[in-house]
């Protein structure tokens, strides 16, 4: 099973993000846009995991996230990794709550590394992947739209982390929640 741990978004936030993707999609660049129902903020990609390891993983995550409290984040701005001119990923950033997200990602890291999952080599970068670029030569139209993006959503409550299974399918990835870890109010 391919697994990852992420922060889910409420439907109204996904709808707003979906409108942004729809606007960017009109430029017809070679980008694999994320389906709005799949939008999430990844805390840690775990990769292939044997089914026998699942219960121990859930237990470690439950213990590791126990006592973490809910918090608020805001989404704003857009860009590309490694940069917009050579983008492999187009993203929307987190403008408020980055530190709390980094703390949550660190707790996930501490819960998973002892189980043999690799440690992250880089600092946590709070962002929401909107699309994966298939051709580095993005159109001037899309580049202009991403650079001029004024998208902003404030006050998104992060109240849980979710362990998802990711299955690759012809119509795009299918994400199935396997466990939810509620954050204290």
CA torsion sign for 105, 169, 51, 58 is positive
SS (H, E, C) 103-119: HHHHHHHHHHHHHCCCC
Q: Which residues are catalytic?
A: 40, 127
From CA 169, how far away is CA 30, in angstroms rounded? 19
- The H or E element that residue 41 is part of is strand 40-48
Q: Are 88 and 147 in contact (CB under 8 A)?
A: no
Q: How far apart are CA 123 and CA 121, in angstroms?
A: 7
Tokens for 87, please give them: 């983008």
CA distances from 180 to 6, 8, 116, 129 (A): 10, 10, 21, 21
């Amino acid at each position: 099973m391919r697994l990852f741990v992420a922060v889910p978004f409420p439907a109204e936030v996904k709808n707003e993000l979906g409108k942004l993707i729809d606007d960017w999609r009109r430029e017809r660049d070679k980008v694999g846009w994320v389906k709005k129902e799949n939008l999430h903020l990844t805390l840690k990609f775990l990769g292939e995991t044997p089914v026998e390891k699942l219960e121990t993983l859930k237990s470690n995550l439950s213990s590791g996230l126990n006592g973490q409290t809910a918090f608020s984040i805001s989404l704003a701005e857009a860009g590309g990794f490694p940069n917009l001119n050579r983008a492999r990923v187009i993203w929307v950033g987190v403008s408020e709550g980055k530190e709390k997200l980094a703390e949550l990602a660190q707790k996930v890291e501490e819960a998973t590394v002892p189980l043999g999952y690799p440690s992250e080599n880089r600092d946590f970068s709070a962002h929401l992947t909107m699309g994966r670029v298939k051709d580095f030569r993005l159109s001037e139209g899309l580049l202009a739209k991403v650079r001029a993006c004024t998208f902003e959503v404030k006050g998104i409550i992060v109240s849980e982390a979710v362990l998802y299974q990711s299955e690759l399918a012809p119509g795009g990835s299918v994400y199935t929640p396997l466990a939810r870890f509620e954050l204290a109010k």
